[in-house]
Amino acid sequence: MFNHQDISRFESIETPFYYYDLDLLRRTLAACKMAADQYGFHVHYAMKANFNPRVLDAVRNSGIGADCVSGNEVKKAAEIGFDPGNIVFAGVGKSDREINDALGLDIFSFNVESIQELGVLNGLAAARNKIARVAIRINPNVDAHTHHNITTGLEENKFGINTWELAECVKELKQSPNLEFIGIHFHIGSQVTDLEVFKSLCLRVNDIRNWFEDHQLHIRVLNVGGGLGIDYHHPDEKAIVDFEAYFKVFDQFLERRHGQEVHFELGRALVAQCGNLVSRVLYVKNGQKKNFLVLDAGMTELIRPMLYQAYHQMENLSVLKLAGNERNTTRYDVVGPICESTDCFGKEVEMPVARRNDLIVIRSAGAYGEVMASGYNLRDRVTSVYSES
Ligand code: LLP
């Protein structure tokens, strides 16, 4: 929710830019930490969702760890002060250089995604006289019931080791003296809003944990990944996710034996609602079939609507500033300036009649927004503005 002061401030800034509400971010992180602590759960932040330096500072200060998917993310996390003992490194394609860098930092765990990777990691660790802690990422074949482009836990997805490969995996682990097996890792997909899906995951994890223990491999860590979705339709009323309800599912359905630790890797739920993309109307094109609102932000600043048909609420802030209901509404296809037909934030969106230079804010854009920006069409890099200096 933006007040007149925010809007006056935005009017003086060149658009497009990301606007982060750092107070909301801190409150979200605190709510998550408090709910997790209650059950003794450990949370890592999936840095891929947003690695803006101010966002990372807030996460680090909250006491949450870092979940990384590239060597550069691992290095950045360590550089800005995340404790290496609180950094995990996943990814199907870790290069030798990335593995070596992470070995040098002595991170908490490598989440290994293939049997071949186990061999490579063991070899690289041996060459440096190190022992690498390893969690095996397993593809549990659980349907996350989310958009197919952000589903990761089905057999058709490239992630993790399939359950039918586990016997070979155990054999490899037992003959790898430079690997210390610490646990199992799962991540079934993103923007999961049905908590029943997490219950199914818990039941599957229980079975797989039993299988490992039957094979004399003790499990210290159960890492259940991230994926908790947010409410894109209610960015103000549902600004902070119900972390309590989410963790409760795991407390209820995930069996923990002999002090097993439960780890989470949340991205979107922590940072989505604190970020907004602020843009201006460049042109209003009224046609016979359609009206187009052409913004100065496009898929180069926020690609989620184009890539996943994702909904983001859009608001005309210039209208909010008017005293009464002084403009009628109409329907627009809200588009960006990029030379691609898919460069569209929403079709037939009912909005107040717009004028050139009106400020349009695209809500819930803090996760997978700024970090997925590109320079296509030789666009300027999008800038960021914060609720406090
Ligand atoms: N852990 C692993 C291994 C992951 O691959 C991901 C996300 C997460 C944790 C964090 O998931 P989250 O809590 O944020 O759902 N660009 C897409 C989302 C891609 C998610 C990739 N992996 C989007 O904009 O919807």
Nearest CA owner, ligand 1 atom 20? 190
Would you state the pLDDT for residue 146? Answer: 72
22-271 shares the fold of 4-17+274-386:
no
Centroid of ligand 1 to alpha carbon of 47 (angstroms)? 9
Q: What is the mean pLDDT of residues 344-364?
A: 97
**Comparing C-alpha atoms, which of 224, 147, 220 is closest to residue 187?**
224
Contact 296, 337 (CB under 8 A): yes
The token pair at 110 is 């490598």
The active-site residue, picked from 68, 169, 202, 339, is: 339
> Closest ligand 1 atom to the C-alpha of 111?
3
Check the CA dihedral 107-274-37-225 and report its sign. negative
**What is the ipTM for the molecules in this complex?**
0.99
**What are the structural domain ranges in the chain?**
4-17+274-386, 22-271
Domain 4-17+274-386 has CATH 2.40.37.10: yes
Q: Please report the pLDDT score of residue 130 as a whole number.
A: 97
CATH no., domain 22-271 = 3.20.20.10
Sign of the alpha-carbon torsion through 201, 203, 204, 209:
positive
* pLDDT tens track for 94-147: 999 999 999 999 999 999 999 999 999 999 999 999 999 999 999 888 776 777
Distances (CA, A) of 284 to 149, 230, 301: 32, 31, 20
Measuring CA to CA, how many Å separate 254 from each of 43, 200, 249, 388? 16, 10, 8, 40
Residue 156 binned pLDDT confidence (cut-offs 50, 70, 90): low
Cβ of 187 closer than 6 Å to ligand 1, yes or no, is yes
Nearest residue to 327 (alpha-carbon basis) of 288, 291, 355, 361: 355
8 A C-beta contact, residue 210 and residue 257: no
Is the model more confident about 220 or about 152?
Answer: 220
Render pLDDT for 225-262 as a digit per residue (tens, 0 to 9).
Answer: 999 999 999 999 999 999 999 999 999 999 998 889 99
Kindly state if the Cβ of 306 falls inside 6 Å of ligand 1.
Answer: no
**C-alpha 92 – ligand 1 centre gap (Å):** 14
Helix (H) / strand (E) element for 201: namely helix 195-214
Task: Pick the closest to residue 312 from 325, 299, 326, 322 (CA basis).
Answer: 299
Pairing of β 42-46 and β 291-295: unpaired
Give 152's pLDDT tier (boundaries 50, 70, 90). Answer: low
**pLDDT (0 to 100) of residue 144:** 67
- The CB of 227 under 6 Å from ligand 1? The reply is yes
Instruction: Kindly state if the Cβ of 267 falls inside 6 Å of ligand 1.
Output: yes
339 is catalytic: yes
Residue 339: pLDDT over 70: yes
